[in-house]
Amino acid sequence: MRLTRFIAIFLIFSISLSIVTVIRGLTPYSSSSRRNLLPNGSSTTIYRWPPRTVRIELRSTGKLLFEIYYYLNGENHTVIRKFVERGIFTVDVQRRGLNTMF
Amino acid sequence: MLKVKRTVKNLKTLIAWEFDRVNIYLLGFIIFVTTAYVLHPMVSFSTRVIRIGEIMFQIKSWWEEYLFYPGDVINAIEPLVAFLSGILFASNVARTFENREMLTLLTCPIKRFDVILSKFLINFLILYFTCGVPFTLDMLLLGINPLSFDMYIWLLILLLPVLFTCSIALFASVTFKAAAPTAIIPPLAYFGLLKILWSTNVKIFELLYSEWDKELFNAAKSWLHFSSTTFSVNANFLYILLHRLLLPIFFIILSIIYFQKVLQLD
């Protein structure tokens, strides 16, 4: 009876850990997003739970350098790099540790 | 000596028996809620990024801040523990008065002191371990060395809020002998005390509900790293000791005395 209880407790704890691990993975690892981007300022969001689709909306009064890159084997690999004013971008993320920067 | 051994043996048997009687669904609920809450990104600091620049250029201040992150997690755990202790004590202690289980138990040749102490200890240990295990995981993920004393000091500090709410829950369950008030009183007492302190003295409020863990951590560290002569006891430390340790012990002793000498079961 006591062993069954301990197994049940262990199972519940494992399930809780799995759920919270998924929640943690879906939460941005790091974010420095601001409502207003200052000139020469940047905003970065890092996720670590691929694959996923990221939708980024940009609105600005001037030109922005919009850049998406992933970090692999110590190198930054650029996915998108262009000057934009506005737009909605959908990016398929297939690799771990994608950084978006604009 | 033989008497102490017998008492410890009786207490162990009673604790094991009490553990078998804890509702598995309630236990599962508590394990799930505490694990999900403590490790949730809104509470846990181990999900935040560690900035390389801070490590390289401001290593001292970064490290000091970094070591105090578990203190903020403990402050976040405290209101949850207030709710859970109410539910746990209502289910495992107060309900035994309602369904006359306590009356049956006291007809057995066991002391009242052993009965109430075992009931308190098992519920306290359940809450402490359900919060302590994810809290330890969080500290490991944060990068605090398990071989250093820091982690164990934080685990000791976690004992105090759990002890505080459990002592109030025990007092409520013994005096009211009903599940509903027992479930409500610990969160009410916690938030009521918080509100009263906030409206009367903000400095004391900040000391007892925000800065207390850091003060205790610093005191424990200075006591461990240097000799006991360098450890100075100031008024703040005494306030914390009174609120976090002496008040719960007073409630526990009061509950035990009330259960042993005053309480009538019929």
**pLDDT tens track for B126-136:** 999 999 999 99
The reply to whether residue B32 touches residue A12, judged by beta carbons under 8 angstroms, is yes
Domain map (residue ranges) of chain A: 30-101
Decide if the complex's ipTM is over 0.90: no
Residue A2 forms contact with B (CB below 8 Å): yes
Provide the pLDDT for residue B163.
95
Provide the pLDDT for residue A72.
63
Grade residue B180 by pLDDT with cuts at 50, 70 and 90: very high
The reply to whether residue B36 touches residue A20, judged by beta carbons under 8 angstroms, is yes
Provide the pLDDT for residue B64.
53
Provide the pLDDT for residue A36.
63
CA separation (Å) from A13 to A16, B31, B176?
Answer: 5, 6, 33
What's the pTM value of the predicted model, to 2 decimals? 0.78
Residue A65 forms contact with B (CB below 8 Å): no
Domain that includes residue B94, residue range:
2-262
Closest chain B residue by Cα to residue A1:
B20
CA distance B100 to B116: 15
Closest chain A residue by Cα to residue B33:
A16
CA distance B70 to B52: 20
**Closest by Cβ to B35, choosing from A8, A13, A30:** A13
Report the DSSP beta bridge partners of residue A44.
A101
Provide the pLDDT for residue B201.
86
What percentage of chain B exceeds 90 in pLDDT? 42
> Tokens 């859970």 label which residue?
B84
Domains contained in chain B, number: 1
Grade residue B181 by pLDDT with cuts at 50, 70 and 90: very high
Q: What is the mean pLDDT of residues B173-191?
A: 92
- For B:126-165, CB contacts with A below 8 A are 133, 137
The reply to whether residue A27 touches residue B47, judged by beta carbons under 8 angstroms, is yes
The reply to whether residue B28 touches residue A24, judged by beta carbons under 8 angstroms, is no
Over 80: is that where the pLDDT of B226 sits?
no
Provide the pLDDT for residue A10.
92
Over 60: is that where the pLDDT of B138 sits?
yes
When mean pLDDT is compared across A48-57, B103-112, B228-237, the lowest value belongs to A48-57
The reply to whether residue B47 touches residue A29, judged by beta carbons under 8 angstroms, is yes
Over 80: is that where the pLDDT of B67 sits?
no
Express each pLDDT in A37-90 by its tens digit.
Answer: 666 666 666 665 555 566 677 777 777 777 777 666 666 777 778 888 777 777
Q: What is the mean pLDDT of residues B199-215?
A: 86
Residues of chain B in contact with residue A46, where contact means CB-CB under 8 angstroms, are: 49
Output B17-21 pairs: Cβ under 8 A, ≥24 positions apart: B17/B118, B18/B92, B18/B118, B18/B119, B18/B122, B19/A2, B19/A5, B19/B122, B20/A1, B20/A2, B20/A5, B21/B92
